[in-house]
Amino acid sequence: MANVITDETIEYVGILAKLELSKEEQEQAKKDMGRMLDYIDKLGELDTEGIEPMSHVFPVQNVFREDSIVNSDTREEFLANAPEQKDGMFVVPKTF
């Protein structure tokens, strides 16, 4: 494995992903991530000079919708997914 992921990196990625990993999980994640980066390096061997990065898999462009209201109130339906609700809103841990 050419890419070695440091403890700092895995901790940082953990913070970004809001994941708390155990020591074992961290070690496993370091290995997995190293392998992923090796694979990316492999792709990097290809000559992509002058080729625009692809952002969409289909050759489509300008997919628009008109500015007219088509949705109605489906609050009850989607609030049904909430672990907890109050006054028609989702309840989440206190934020500031």
Binding site for other proteins (CB under 8 A): 12, 15-16, 18, 53, 55-58, 60-71, 73-75, 78-79, 86-96
Question: Could you report how far apart the first and last alpha carbons of the chain are, in Å?
Answer: 43
**Minimal distance, residue 87 CB to other proteins, in Å:** 7
**Cβ proximity to other proteins, 24 vs 59, nearer residue:** 59
**Cβ proximity to other proteins, 49 vs 87, nearer residue:** 87
**Minimal distance, residue 36 CB to other proteins, in Å:** 15
CB atoms within 10 A of CB 28: 13
**Cβ proximity to other proteins, 4 vs 19, nearer residue:** 19
The answer to whether 66 and 53 have CB atoms below 8 angstroms apart is no
30 secondary structure, DSSP code = H
Question: What gap in Å lies between CA 96 and CA 92, rounded to an integer?
Answer: 12
